[in-house]
Amino acid sequence: MRKKLVAANWKMHKITAEARSFLETLKLELGEETDVEVLLAPPFTLLPLCSQMVGESAAIKLGAQNMHPAKAGAFTGEISAQMLRDLFVRYVIVGHSERRAIFGESDQFVGEKVRAAHEASLRPILCVGETLAHREGSQHESVIDRQLTAGLEGVDAKHIPDTVVAYEPVWAIGTGHNATPAQAQEMHAHIRAVITRLYDAAHADRVRIQYGGSVKPENAEELMRQPDIDGALVGGASLEARSFAAIIAAAREARG
Ligand code: 13P
């Protein structure tokens, strides 16, 4: 059985004092329970503090929101996998739709990041998602197929169980309009079918597929009850510790 993975993507939010008070509250809310995997992806500037505050705790792991695929070099403003590992970061979000749309990241560049993450023993969270225009034009599946195929290009089968996919329909991000559980399940099953085609069913069965896009305490449980929804990648509702803790509690309930 796949362990649910609930992740907070803080995007470009929070400074030191805010992160500290968030973590103090979250740690109290969660205790040492580890039946759901919990991940915090703060901005780079807060990784050292968060790393120090979660310490050896098995209950909260750290992720980064982005990285550059090169090991080192003249890439002003960028962060490498090794730098993330140095701060005990375990996961890295790659190919978020904001990176693709605002910063022009191509499917191929995202694929380079996935490979570089695995090489450095970081687990990539490969984000895929269609726009409203794609969905209205019935292109949603073909867009996801393209993003997945390029994102997983050259990834050895042995790394597939350590790869997470996040399905984040662009029209659901920050809009308050989440995909319905049925819409999300349909796409998650499709994503697993694509991974089966690229690898095989045994590997595809081990990949966790998170849903992201207006996840809130009120809709989280029903979404995560769907058979192919293995967790959530949460933006806005992850900025407040109690609301994020309520989503983690929903993931526990959804395990059935
Ligand atoms: P919201 O939860 O704010 O819709 O953001 C989702 C997201 O982009 C997480 O990566």
Q: Does domain 5-254 have CATH number 3.40.50.11270?
A: no
Distance 74 CA to ligand 1 centre (A): 31
- Percent of all residues in the chain with a pLDDT value above 70, rounded to a whole number: 100
Question: Tokens 């050895």 correspond to what residue?
Answer: 156
- Whether 168 sits among the annotated catalytic residues: the reply is yes
Distance 9 CA to ligand 1 centre (A): 7
Q: Report how far residue 87's alpha carbon sits from residue 40's, in angstroms, rounded to the nearest whole number.
A: 13
Using DSSP bridges, classify how beta strands 5-9 and 37-41 pair: parallel, antiparallel or unpaired: parallel
pLDDT, average across residues 178-201 = 98
Residue with more model confidence, 256 or 119 = 119
Q: Ligand 1: which of 215, 218, 244, 247 to mutate, judged by most atoms within 8 Å of the beta carbon?
A: 215
What residues are in contact with ligand 1 under a 6 Å CB criterion?
9, 96, 168, 173-174, 212-215, 233-237
Q: Report how far residue 4's alpha carbon sits from residue 27's, in angstroms, rounded to the nearest whole number.
A: 18
Domain ranges of the chain: 5-254
Which ligand 1 atom is at minimum distance from the Cα of 213?
Answer: 4
Residue 238 contacts residue 196 (beta carbons within 8 Å): no
Residue 57 has pLDDT above 80, yes or no: no
Q: Report how far residue 195's alpha carbon sits from residue 165's, in angstroms, rounded to the nearest whole number.
A: 10
Q: Ligand 1: which of 13, 168, 216 to mutate, judged by most atoms within 8 Å of the beta carbon?
A: 168
Q: Is the pTM of this model over 0.85?
A: yes
